[in-house]
Amino acid sequence: MLRSIIALLALVMSMPLRAEGGVQVESAVFVEHSNAEGLLVEASDRFAVGDRVVTVMSWQAPASGRFTIVTTVPRRLDLQSVSRQALEYSTDGARSWHALSDARELPHGVTHLRWRTAGDGRLTYRAIVREP
């Protein structure tokens, strides 16, 4: 069990991000917990099956151009929602792309996300850690 948690952590922390020249992308991963006061989102170095994970990606891009950013979704994450409506997703390893119709409902098995941007921005998505 501990080995699979560490493996998941390595996958999430090293998520491949691909962007065109001049774009810098950073990501951070958090775990979401519920308590009597509401939701708590905190940095974590361990993830277990069933955990709600929040990933925040920020980028800096020249405002003078349009750029495309592509990120791989780790296999053990089942996406639940994203903070950006205008993006595309793939369920077949980035071979084909589909426009997202509802940012609160993603199909199971999303392998990649892709979006276009001009200038700086941020994308957040929520996911649940699933069995290997």
Report pLDDT digits (tens) over 42-83.
Answer: 988 788 999 999 999 999 888 888 888 899 999 999 999 999
For residue 97, give the DSSP letter. Answer: -
- In the predicted model, is pLDDT for residue 119 greater than 70? yes
CA distance 71 to 122: 13
Locate the domains of the chain by residue range: 2-129
Residue with tokens 């205008």: 86
Torsion of CA 70, 95, 81, 50, to 10 degrees: -100
Residue of 114, 130, 132 lying closest to 57 (CA atoms): 114
CA distance 1 to 19: 34
- In the predicted model, is pLDDT for residue 131 greater than 50? yes
Mean pLDDT confidence for 8-32 = 63
2-129: CATH topology: Jelly Rolls (2.60.120)
